Every structure is written in structure tokens, then in C-alpha cells.
Structure 1
Amino acid sequence: MHPERPSLRIGPYAVDPPVVLAPMAGITNVAFRRLCREYGAGLYVCEMITSRALVERDPATMRMITFDPGEYPRSMQLYGVDPATMGEAVRMIAAEGLADHVDTNFGCPVPKVTRRGGGAALPYKRRLFAQIVRAMVRAAEPAGIPVTVKFRIGIDGDHTTYLDAGRIAEAEGAAAVALHARTAAQRYSGEADWSAIARLREAVTGIPVLGNGDIFAAADALKMVEQTGCDGVVVGRGCLGRPWLFRDLQAAFAGQPAPEPPLLGEVSRVLRRHAELLSEHLGEHRGVRDLRKHMAWYLRGFPVGSELRQRFGLVASLAELDDLLARLDPDVPFPADAEGPRGRQGSPGRVVLPEGWLADPEDATVPAGAELMHSGG
């Protein structure tokens, strides 16, 4: 039995199926988003963009906000810790028509981010968090750009922030919230606590609540909706080396049978298409090098042999890629052990925070030297 299909709207945009591609640094560039979009509808978010780098028109950041001509709505995720800079970045996006939807990153657990009070550390400072969301929403309103907010359960088990963050985001005019159902201390390890998504859904009733964490197959998405009542799902690591997951999700939410998993021949074709799109975006040399990180994900579980696998990981040109792909047996079925978690998992650890960060959750001071000048990390 299928749960009742949620109807998801992010501001003026209907998202059908209710599926969002999570921004992933070094992954969700215009090439990968296009590849995923060719498999199914949804909302596809570009890599995280740093608000200060955007405002200062850092050349690398300006290249990162490339969107495909057919991509709509164009979705950008901003990172920042200063309400003034975040507001200015959204005003710039609105004035120059750079995106149609802005998401906000309060979920990143990476030490270089949390030690500055950013990412998953920031919602602990309730007033500062509210000021950032308010500044962004006010800057976005005249252009009709919806602002959404993504966060984690909290810093660790003793410092949970997600229910306050959800209520504050809703009160300040966010169009939706998304919860990665892990703490920052968990990083990507262990299991996501989907019951937290259900509790957030009970606390936030006026805007959509999206769930994120441990969706590695379309059935996981249906299960999350059924168990938590969330309005949609956010998919991150589950689609690494598997962009056809969006085809499976589209079928699942439409109540259709799951498509057959691809044979190695189809996986080869997808891999080749990914290389082509990256080459168009970055040039062949950089594009093929960028593809290397995806090889282990695409070939996971297939009986490829260690020597060939190693050569895929060092590929330097489209011609060399074609030669390697020609050596694969196209009729090999998709391996059962390729299912399940993929991408970084790591281990839990103490969250690195600015000195005295936990002393006063009401302190709205912007952390000194907190603004990052680079994007996507």
C-alpha cells in the first residue's frame, strides 16, 4: 500500500514528485543536476554558495551558480552567519535574477564551518538564527523568491535545536524547512532518527516539512513519508553514482511499479553521459578529472576487477573513458550489494565550536571572522 502522496509547494512552485536533491559540495554542479533531471522531476539544488563570496563576486563562486537553460526553478543554497551579508546576497540574487528559490544551510557539520559558528552550530543561537532568516525573507519578498531553511537535530544529543529552529523559521516567513535527522556530532554516521522528522512535522504546521537522511532507495522515501507525515524528501548521498534513483522516486510517488535496476551497459551509458555534461561545463580535461570521484559509486558491487577499477579512477580523457567502458560486459545485472548507504559516512565526533559558543543561546553577536570567502565546502 502506498501512503497518500504528499502535495509539495515551495512558495509559488509545485514540486512533483515531492523530491529535492540536496546540495553536495563538488557534486551537484550543473552537469550532475542535469543528469538527475533527465531521470525525473523534482527540485535540484546547486552546490552551497557562500554569501560573502557571492556579494564580493568571487570569480569561482560566480562560475558555480551556472544553471542549465531548461532548469526551472533555479535553486541556490546560501551559507552564512551574518544577517547583513545574507540579506545582501539575497537582494543581489533578486535584483540580477540569479535564482528562483534560495535555500539556507544550517546543517553542515564540517569543522571548518562549525568552528566559526556556521552550519549546524548556528541554530543554537536562536536570536541570530531568527535575524538571518528574517533578513533573507525580507530581501526575497519583493521578487517573490521563496526562502527555505535546512538544519539538523542539533549540535549533539545534549544540545538539540531543531524544534526551535523550525518554529523560528516558520515565524520569520520561511517557505519550508528541511531536517537532516542527525546531530552535527553524528556527521553522516549511524542511522538517521526519522522520529525527529515526525516531531518537527507536529511542531511546524503552516509550511512544508521535508525529511532528509538515509534515503538510499525509492522505498525508503515512501517509508519516510508514511512514518513521519513529512511533505517531501531530500535526497543526498543516495543518488551518488545512481542518478536513476530519481526515476525510481518518480515511479514510487506515482504508485507505479519500481523500474528494473540497470544492467552494467546502461550504467556505462550514464557514466558516459555524465562525462559529456561535465566536459561541456568544465572542458574535457577538468571535466573527466572531476568524474573520477564518481567512478567507485557507479561501479560499486559490479565484478569489474581491481586493475580496471583503478584505471577508471585515473581516467584523463573521453577517449580513454570510451576504451575502458568498452571492456565492461554490458549484460552484467545490477548487483544486490550495490544497494544501501553510499558516500561518506565517517564516525561521530565532538563538534568544534567557537570558544564560549554554548554559554548564551540568546547572544546574537555575529562570530568574529566567521564569514567564509569560498563556496561549496
Structure 2
Amino acid sequence: MGPLEVWPPVVLAPMAGITNAPFRTLCREQGGGLFVCEMITTRALVERNAKTFKMIRFEPSEKPRSIQLYGIDPVTVGKAVRMIATEDLADHVDLNFGCPVPKVTRRGGGSALPYKRNLLRAILREAVGNAGTLPVTMKMRKGIDDDHLTYLDAGRIAVEEGVSAIALHGRTAVQHYGGTADWEAIARLKEAVPEIPVLGNGDIWSADDARRMMDRTGCDGVVVGRGCLGRPWLFADLAAMCDGSDERLRPRLGEVAATMDRHATSMVECFDSEWHAVADFRKHVGWYLKGFVVGSDLRRRLATSETLAGLRESLAELDPDQPWPEGVDAPRGKTNPRDRVHLPAGWLDDPYDLAVPGADAELDTSGG
């Protein structure tokens, strides 16, 4: 991707409240690739919001450092990318045109924005023009819905404006995370933009899924999001797959518990608040324990822990010799589609309108 060589061709998708430094560290240790931080809003970065600067904290060993930006104003996006380049805040910039959540799309951002072709072009031009030697990539969806598909137009615009790579989630915004990802759309995009790498995203729950996607679509790599929730060792499987090995990690419950302990401990060190860190970690408990036989009372205590010591006491009650369960290479996280996509008034009237949405469209805090 531009001057960056990434192997294996695997990217950790930015996920709000998930891909902070502790989780990225756990994933990076399993195998190489590109590991992207949580979504950062361009306005918050330009205004030097304190919370935002804490979110772009990277470990000394984290190379390349990758930031994903959300923005809808070309000028603000350009300023944010220039900050990253001139202040050495990261080695790679990814632009978010795939987020489907209402608080983003109702402002014209995320997966809503590529519908405005000229606005998309202006944002990409400002980003690439201000990036210096840093590669700029973008992540997007197929479109708003099946009647408003944008990914092929957006792909050509990206190539014309000097974007280094594109990741496509094979769903529309209205699908959210429901239904089945359309891998054929990834194949069509790869055919349409052979000049740059295309990465596929959607329904990769195992390394074998990633191999099937790459074989079926011809994509150059994969982006993994929900499939690694509670399962950072998926990146070891992906690295093995890319190197031609059938070896797969299947940790016993004792190893999973040790990873949970380390994850929570790192979050305490990162957040400088034990209560906040442990409370934030609780959402990971169900993902880590998916498929394992754990009593309801113990699950409840793990999912309601308030201190690191309390969490560790409960983890110690898990059966360390329980083997990795079968059949857990399956959907994790949200799966329900939406009835509609929340958009600004009149958003669909003119796909070539260059006007930036209202003054409040740029979110002033980061995190998605």
C-alpha cells in the first residue's frame, strides 16, 4: 500500500470501543498485518481534543501505526491528515466511508457519504494531497441500499485521486451487520480497479473463510472485524493460512482466561482508572467465553466485575483444561439489519452535490 508492505495481507478493522491499544497488542502478538485504531474524527483531531489524543496512543513496538479518520468536510479532513503527517502521529491513514450507525449517517458521514460523488472526490483529494509520503486508504460499503449502490463509482474515484488501497465490506448500510456479505461485489470491485489493492471484509469468522474469500474474489487481502472479538488468536490462524499452513490455534479455557486477565490488566494501565477499565472490559467476557461450558452464576459474576481482583477471582474458577469448543467459528457481535438508513434531509436528491452538510455534521468527539 504505497510505501508500506504488509504481510500477511490482513487488517484489523477499527471498531469503536474495541480496537484500543491493549486489544491491538493482543492481536499483533499473534501474527503480522495492519492493526487500525478506533475511528478518530477529523474535527476532534484538529481541535486537539484531549480524549482523541489519548485514543491515538500507540505502543512503542507498534509499526506501522494506523489511524482511521472520519470526516465530511474536505478542508477539515485535509488539516487532520496534514497534522498526522507533519507531527508524525501515524504511518498510515484510513478514511471511514463504511460506518452505518445513525449518528454518523444522519450527518452525511460514513456509509452515506460516497453517494455524493463530488464530495467524496474532494475529501480524497485533500487527504492524499496533505498526506506527504503516508499512504491513504479507504474503507466503504456497497452503498446505502440496493437501490443506491456506490462502490464501483467510489472505487474509480479513489484510484483517480491517488488512494493506495480500498477495503470493501460486502454489505449495504441498511443491512448493517445482518444477512450475508456479498463477496461477488468484492470481486467486481477488484475487476474495476486493478491498479490498487482491494481488501475484502464481511463474514470472515475463520482463516478458512478468509482463504475462500480470497480464492473466490481475487482480492488482495482481508479486513477482519467482528470475527476476532474475544479471539485475538484468529490472527495467528490468518498468518498460518497466508503462509500455506493448515495449523490453527485452539486454546484451552485456561489460556483464554489468562488472555482475559492480561487484556483487562492492560486496559487498567491504559485508562488510568480501574473501575472504568474493568467496566469497559465486561463487554468482552461473552465473546471470550463463547461456546465454553461455564455456569450461569460464574458468567454473571464475570460480566459484572467491578475490580481487577474480583475479575481474577472469578477467572480462577474456570476449568483450565476445558478444550476449545467446536462450532464457534460463527457470527459474533451485532447481526440485525436496519429498517432504513438515517440520512440528512434531501440527501438522495442529487448524487453530485458538492455541498458539505450542516455545521454540526463534523462530530466533535472520536470513537464512532
What TM bracket, shorter-length normalisation? over 0.9
Q: Distance in 1 between matches of 2:13 and 2:249?
A: 25
Q: Is structure 2 residue 283 aligned with structure 1 residue 293?
A: yes
- Gaps of at least 5 residues in structure 1 are 1-9
Give the alignment partner of residue 138 of structure 1, picking from 115, 129, 136: 129
> Over aligned residues, Cα RMSD in angstroms?
0.9
Report what 1:224 is aligned to.
213
Give the alignment partner of residue 158 of structure 2, picking from 151, 162, 169: 169
Secondary structure, aligned partner of 2:327: helix
Q: Distance in 2 between matches of 1:308 and 1:186?
A: 35
Q: Is structure 2 residue 331 aligned with structure 1 residue 341?
A: yes
- Report matched runs for 1:273-292 at 5 Å: 273-283=262-272, 284-292=274-282
Q: Could you tell me how far 1:17 is from its partner in structure 2?
A: 0.5
Opposite residue 274 of structure 1, the aligned amino acid is H
Opposite residue 276 of structure 1, the aligned amino acid is T
- Report matched runs for 1:8-87 at 5 Å: 10-87=1-78
Q: Distance in 1 between matches of 2:248 and 2:95?
A: 33
Q: Distance in 2 between matches of 1:86 and 1:260?
A: 40
Q: Distance in 2 between matches of 1:118 and 1:68?
A: 30
Q: Deviations over 1:98-157 (max 9, x none)?
A: 01100000001111111111100000000000000000000002xx10000110000000
Q: Deviations over 1:68-101 (max 9, x none)?
A: 1000110000000000000000111111110110
Q: Distance in 2 between matches of 1:183 and 1:192?
A: 9
Report what 1:252 is aligned to.
241
Secondary structure, aligned partner of 1:269: helix
Q: Deviations over 1:146-190 (max 9, x none)?
A: 000110000000000000001101110000001000000100001
Report what 1:319 is aligned to.
309
Report what 1:266 is aligned to.
255
Q: Distance in 1 between matches of 2:22 and 2:79?
A: 28
Q: Is structure 2 residue 180 aligned with structure 1 residue 204?
A: no
Secondary structure, aligned partner of 1:366: coil
Opposite residue 316 of structure 1, the aligned amino acid is E
Q: Which moved more, 1:201-210 or 1:260-269?
A: 260-269
Report what 1:363 is aligned to.
353
Opposite residue 349 of structure 2, the aligned amino acid is A
Q: Distance in 2 between matches of 1:207 and 1:220?
A: 23
Q: Deviations over 1:290-337 (max 9, x none)?
A: 210100000111111111101111112221122111111111111113
Q: Is structure 2 residue 291 aligned with structure 1 residue 304?
A: no
Contact 2:236 2:249 in 1 (8 A): no
Q: Could you tell me how far 1:258 is from its partner in structure 2?
A: 2.2
Report what 2:341 is aligned to.
351
Q: Could you tell me how far 1:12 is from its partner in structure 2?
A: 1.1
Secondary structure, aligned partner of 1:151: strand
Q: Could you tell me how far 1:338 is from its partner in structure 2?
A: 2.4
Q: Distance in 2 between matches of 1:310 and 1:331?
A: 21
Contact 2:233 2:249 in 1 (8 A): no
Secondary structure, aligned partner of 1:278: helix
Give the alignment partner of residue 128 of structure 1, picking from 119, 125, 128: 119
Secondary structure, aligned partner of 1:336: coil
Secondary structure, aligned partner of 2:38: strand
Q: Distance in 1 between matches of 2:29 and 2:330?
A: 23
Q: Could you tell me how far 1:285 is from its partner in structure 2?
A: 2.6
Q: Distance in 2 between matches of 1:316 and 1:54?
A: 32
Q: Distance in 2 between matches of 1:38 and 1:312?
A: 25
- Between the two proteins, the alignment pairs up a number of residues equal to 366
Report what 1:5 is aligned to.
none
Opposite residue 179 of structure 2, the aligned amino acid is G
Report what 1:194 is aligned to.
183
Q: Distance in 1 between matches of 2:139 and 2:249?
A: 33
Q: Distance in 2 between matches of 1:117 and 1:260?
A: 41
Q: Distance in 2 between matches of 1:37 and 1:148?
A: 20
Q: Could you tell me how far 1:347 is from its partner in structure 2?
A: 2.4
Q: Which moved more, 1:76-85 or 1:252-261?
A: 252-261
Moved over 3 A (4+): none
TM-score by length of 2: 0.98
Give the alignment partner of residue 87 of structure 2, picking from 73, 89, 96: 96
Q: Distance in 2 between matches of 1:289 and 1:246?
A: 26
Report what 1:375 is aligned to.
366
